[in-house]
């Protein structure tokens, strides 16, 4: 069965703190893609990053970093030195299929991040 | 390049009515997916269209249908509306190619309220 679990429902931090959002996934496919999306109060989902199942190289992009571990089926997301503008709902998502182009994303329940000044 | 656009942005209907939502994908994007977002169920996949054909379908009743036109614009229709259909309906488009360019770009959504 395909499933994405974001155990943290809400996280509240003070500006400049580091915060890690957890994501655990389940899939029987050997080829799949994992994503993180951000949904600010405006409602529009914003794409942050995509990783395929064969690429476990972790990445840092500015204040964002991602930790993908197939052994634990986890794809965690860290914001360093958080800012108030980072306040949003963050979704982890899974796409199965060899090419990943099936158009179906399976989302976790989302983690609401509140960054206080 | 213009993003994904959805019309209308807000809609109020009563039970039993039907509704049609529209989505214009990013220019050049041929795949359009629809999602329903509710506080209780979260984000759920409705269906995906590619080249005017439904390629994938989520677990929703037949009251939910869609179509895609030759210019890749898509519409979804919900017939016999129920209170539980109140939700934010999101459309996403992606550039389908031979490479892994399958990130989906979302529109602002249509907020449907069923009274």
Instruction: Please give the span between the terminal C-alpha atoms of chain A, in angstroms, as a whole number.
Output: 41
- Residue B94 bridge partners (DSSP): B31
Pair type for strands A10-14 and A111-116: parallel
pLDDT of residue B100: 45
pLDDT of residue B1: 67
A100 has pLDDT over 50: no
Stretch A58-67: mean pLDDT, rounded? 84
What does the block give as tokens for B9? 């942005």
pLDDT of residue B90: 97
pLDDT of residue A96: 80
Helices (H), chain A: none
Which of the residues B40, B49, B91, B104 would you substitute to probe the A interface, choosing the one with the greatest number of A C-beta atoms within 10 Å? Answer: B104
pLDDT confidence band for B114 (50 / 70 / 90): very high
In total, chain B counts a number of residues equal to 115
pLDDT of residue A58: 72
Cβ atoms of A2 and A26 closer than 8 Å: yes
Query: Closest chain A residue to B38 measured between Cα atoms?
Result: A109
Which residues in chain B touch residue A44, judged by CB atoms under 8 angstroms apart? 106-109
Which of the residues B93, B106, B111 would you substitute to probe the A interface, choosing the one with the greatest number of A C-beta atoms within 10 Å? Answer: B106
Percent of chain B topping pLDDT 70:
94
pLDDT confidence band for B97 (50 / 70 / 90): low
pLDDT confidence band for A104 (50 / 70 / 90): confident
Contacts of B92 (CB under 8 A, 6+ apart): A45, A105, B4, B32, B33, B34, B35, B104, B105, B106, B107
CB contact under 8 A, B48 and A35: no
A98 has pLDDT over 60: no
Which residues in chain A touch residue B55, judged by CB atoms under 8 angstroms apart? 102-103
Cβ atoms of B49 and B57 closer than 8 Å: no
Rounded-to-integer distance, Cα A38 and Cα A43, Å: 9
Backbone angles phi, psi at A7, to 5 degrees: -70, -25
- Summarised one tens digit per residue, pLDDT across range A8-49 is 999 999 999 999 999 999 998 888 889 999 999 888 899 998
- Summarised one tens digit per residue, pLDDT across range B42-95 is 999 999 998 899 988 899 999 999 999 999 999 999 999 999 999 999 999 988
CB contact under 8 A, B58 and A37: no
pLDDT confidence band for A83 (50 / 70 / 90): very high
How much is the mean pLDDT over chain B? 92
CB contact under 8 A, A45 and B88: no
pLDDT of residue B36: 98
């Amino acid at each position: 069965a395909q499933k994405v679990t974001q155990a943290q429902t809400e996280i509240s931090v003070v500006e400049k703190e580091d915060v890690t959002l957890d994501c655990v996934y389940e899939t029987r496919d050997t080829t799949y893609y994992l994503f993180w999306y951000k949904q600010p109060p405006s409602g529009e989902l914003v794409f942050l990053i995509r990783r395929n199942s064969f690429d476990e190289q972790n990445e840092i992009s500015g204040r964002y970093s991602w930790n993908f571990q197939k052994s634990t089926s986890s794809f965690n997301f860290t914001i360093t030195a958080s800012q108030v503008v980072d306040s949003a709902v963050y979704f982890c998502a899974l796409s199965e299929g060899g090419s990943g182009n099936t158009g179906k994303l399976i989302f976790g329940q989302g983690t609401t991040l509140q960054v206080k000044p | 390049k213009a993003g994904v656009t959805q019309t209308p942005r807000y809609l109020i209907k009563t039970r039993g009515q039907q509704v049609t939502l529209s989505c214009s994908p990013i220019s050049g994007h041929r795949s359009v997916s629809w999602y329903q977002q509710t506080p209780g169920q979260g984000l759920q996949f409705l269906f995906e269209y590619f080249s005017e054909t439904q390629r994938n379908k989520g677990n929703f009743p037949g009251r939910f249908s869609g179509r895609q036109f030759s210019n890749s614009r898509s519409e979804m229709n919900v017939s016999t509306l129920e209170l539980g259909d109140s939700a934010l309906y999101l459309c996403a488009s992606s550039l389908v190619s031979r490479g892994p360019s399958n990130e989906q770009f979302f529109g602002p959504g249509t907020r449907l309220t069923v009274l």
